Amino acid sequence: MKKYSLFSLVRQSLNYHTGWERAWKSPEPKESYDVVIVGAGGHGLATAYYLGKNHGIKNVAILEKGWLGGGNTGRNTTIIRSNYLQDASAAIYEKSRSLYETLSQDMNYNIMFSPRGVMMLAQTHHEARGYQRINSANVIQGIKTEYILPDQVKELCKIINIDCPRYPILGALWQPRGGTARHDAVAWGYARACSDMGMDIIQKCEVTDINPQTNGALELQTSRGKIRCKKLGMVVAGHSGVLAEKAGFRLPIESVALQALVSEPVKPCLDVVVMANTVHGYISQSDKGEMVIGGGADQFNNYSQRGSFIHIENTVRALVEMFPIISRLKMLRQWGGIVDMTGDRSPIISKTPVDNIFINCGWGTGGFKSIPGSGWAMAELVAKGEPGVLASPFSLDRFKEGRFIDESVAAGVAH
Partner 1 sequence: MLKLVCPYCGIEADETELVSGGEAHLKREGPDSTDDDFEGYLFLRENPKGIILERWRHAMGCGKWFHVARCTVTQEVFGTYPAQTLKPPPRIMEVIKSRRTGQETGLNSDNAEKFS
Give the binding site for partner 1 (CB under 8 A).
239, 241-242, 245, 250-255, 299-304, 308-310, 343, 399-400
**Of residues 252 and 289, the one with the C-beta less far from partner 1:** 252
Pair 297, 341: CB distance under 8 Å: yes
Q: Could you write out the DSSP letters of every residue in 186-238? A: HHHHHHHHHHHTT-EEE-S--EEEEEE-TTS-EEEEETTEEEEEEEEEE--GG
CB of 208 to partner 1, least distance (A): 12
**Of residues 283 and 341, the one with the C-beta less far from partner 1:** 341
CA distances from 168 to 78, 150, 235, 286, 330 (A): 26, 9, 40, 26, 26
CB of 258 to partner 1, least distance (A): 15
CB of 1 to partner 1, least distance (A): 38
CB of 251 to partner 1, least distance (A): 7
Of 206, 185, 85, residue with least CA distance to 138: 85
CB of 227 to partner 1, least distance (A): 22
Pair 291, 329: CB distance under 8 Å: yes
The whole-angstrom distance between residue 129's C-alpha and the CA centroid of its chain comes to 27
Of 179, 183, 188, residue with least CA distance to 98: 179
**Of residues 34 and 254, the one with the C-beta less far from partner 1:** 254
Say which amino acid occupies 163: D
Beta strands, E only, 272-407: 273-276, 281-285, 291-301, 331-342, 348-351, 357-361
Say which amino acid occupies 411: A
CB of 346 to partner 1, least distance (A): 13
Q: Which helix (H) or strand (E) holds 184?
A: helix 183-196
CA–CA separation, 311 and 74 (whole Å)? 20
**Of residues 168 and 343, the one with the C-beta less far from partner 1:** 343
CB of 51 to partner 1, least distance (A): 28
